[in-house]
Amino acid sequence: QSALTQPRSVSGSPGQSVTISCTETGSDVGGHNYVSWYQQHPGKAPKLIIYDVSKWPSGVPDRFSGSKSGNTASLTISGLQGEDEADYYCCSYAGIKTFYVFGSGTKVTVL
């Protein structure tokens, strides 16, 4: 059974960069690039900000960037802004039948 581990929280000052890791354990982990990231503000629905490890949906600023090395995917927020304070979730395709696994979520705090 695949599982995704994220740090519980990260923080940074405005203008700084922060990186959130997402480490997969379990089967069929590093063998594909179907990792996506979602931003969720309190009381709101999640919003897709990165897909296929490092691609941007339309309208998402390039301050958000994604990468992957082995079993660990990462989301980097550059030039941190107050509006970036939110929860962030990674998600990986886990194969047919299981389909999707979400990470535990990371709270980003802008100091």
Where on the chain is the footprint of other proteins (CB under 8 A)?
33-34, 36, 38, 40, 45-48, 51-52, 55, 57, 89, 91, 93, 96-105
**Distances 53 to 43, 48, 103 between C-alpha atoms, Å:** 26, 12, 14
Residue 110, classed as helix, strand or coil, is strand
Q: Is residue 81 within 8 Å of 14, Cβ to Cβ?
A: yes
CB 82 to other proteins: min, Å: 23
Pick the closer one to other proteins by CB: 31 or 97. Answer: 97
CB 69 to other proteins: min, Å: 18
Pick the closer one to other proteins by CB: 13 or 96. Answer: 96
> Which tokens hold the place of 62?
């390039």
The residue assigned the tokens 């960069």 is 17
CB 22 to other proteins: min, Å: 12
Q: Is residue 10 within 8 Å of 23, Cβ to Cβ?
A: no
Pick the closer one to other proteins by CB: 16 or 52. Answer: 52
Helix intervals (H) in the chain: none
Pick the closer one to other proteins by CB: 7 or 46. Answer: 46
CB 79 to other proteins: min, Å: 24
